[in-house]
């Protein structure tokens, strides 16, 4: 595994493991880090190269001077360009889903597919305003972080995963925290989302209280020209942790059936 190699121009901290094509590029949820993908990337790296990224201001990546969905997507695109990936799949969870959509809308060379896991929709996220206010007022508070984790999950998590989620929440920079809650989650990129040309897979939890099935049905699926949907029964919002085995299986099938063919067509002279 290679971690945050200094030879790169990117400011982003990442973990790079495995070999094989296409490369899977994992983007995490708000107040999380690349660690949310450990159980998924750890398995998929046996057949694909897996690149997990700490987004700006989260995990071990420094914050940006100014934030927007486009600005963060451009930083991710810069890392991918720096690596010269000739075939890759963007995999975005929650906030990372909206950012993956923004990247895919630019139709970058080499993009073979898009996987959106409990994604924040391209339209403004329907967040309860009292919950938004609570989060804005409690950055860095452990009790609040613990409450949030209990609220957004439906399946129990191992103690080590709970500890990692709480630690990542507390590690989030104030700049990134305020940006997503006050601005990023409210940004409307529906026009850009219509430009996505690659095949897409959308995964959702049947009991997700953050991005419920109705939001995926009404605000995500209609924006994508070539997308399939899988709903995971009994799961909440943290699918990469709550339902890692199901997520691995869905991504593996999608890549084998849709993305390799799309990548071959993209790279055909």
pLDDT average, residue stretch 125-146? 97
High-pLDDT (> 90) share of the chain, %: 91
pLDDT band at 6 (very low <50, low <70, confident <90, very high): very low
pLDDT average, residue stretch 119-148? 97
Task: Check pLDDT > 80 for residue 7.
Answer: no
Strand order through the sheet with 50-53: 2-3, 14-17, 50-53, 23-27, 88-93, 111-117, 200-205, 227-232
Task: Check pLDDT > 50 for residue 263.
Answer: no
* Domains defined for the chain, CATH in brackets: 2-266 (3.40.50.1820)
Across 96-106, b (16+ Cβ under 10 Å) vs e yields bbbbbbbbbbe
Burial environment of residue 157 by CB neighbours within 10 A (0 to 12, 13 to 18, 19 or more) = middle
pLDDT band at 258 (very low <50, low <70, confident <90, very high): confident
Give the number of other CB atoms < 10 A from CB of residue 73.
Answer: 23
């Amino acid at each position: 595994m290679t971690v945050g190699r200094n030879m790169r121009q990117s400011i982003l901290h990442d973990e790079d493991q495995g070999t094989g094509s296409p490369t899977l590029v994992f983007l995490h949820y708000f107040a999380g880090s690349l660690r949310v993908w450990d159980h998924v990337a750890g398995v998929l790296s046996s057949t694909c190269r897996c690149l997990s990224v700490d987004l700006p201001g989260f995990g071990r990546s420094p914050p940006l001077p100014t934030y927007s969905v486009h600005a963060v997507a451009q930083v991710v695109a810069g890392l991918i360009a720096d690596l010269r990936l000739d075939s890759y799949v963007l995999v975005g969870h929650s906030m990372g889903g909206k950012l993956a959509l923004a990247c895919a809308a630019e139709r970058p060379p080499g993009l073979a597919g898009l996987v959106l896991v409990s994604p924040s929709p391209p339209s403004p996220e329907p967040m309860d305003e009292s919950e938004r206010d609570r989060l804005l007022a409690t950055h860095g508070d452990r009790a609040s972080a613990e409450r949030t984790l209990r609220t957004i999950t439906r399946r129990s998590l191992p103690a080590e995963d709970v500890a990692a989620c709480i630690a990542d929440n507390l590690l989030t920079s104030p700049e990134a925290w305020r940006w997503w809650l006050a601005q990023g989650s409210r940004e409307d990129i529906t026009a850009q989302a219509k430009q996505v040309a690659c095949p897409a897979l959308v995964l959702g939890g049947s009991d997700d209280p953050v991005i419920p099935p109705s939001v995926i049905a009404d605000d995500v699926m209609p924006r994508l020209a070539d997308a399939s949907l899988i709903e995971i029964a009994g799961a909440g919002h943290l699918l990469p942790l709550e339902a890692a085995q199901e997520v691995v299986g869905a991504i593996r099938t999608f890549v084998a059936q849709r993305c390799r063919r799309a990548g071959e067509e993209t790279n055909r002279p």
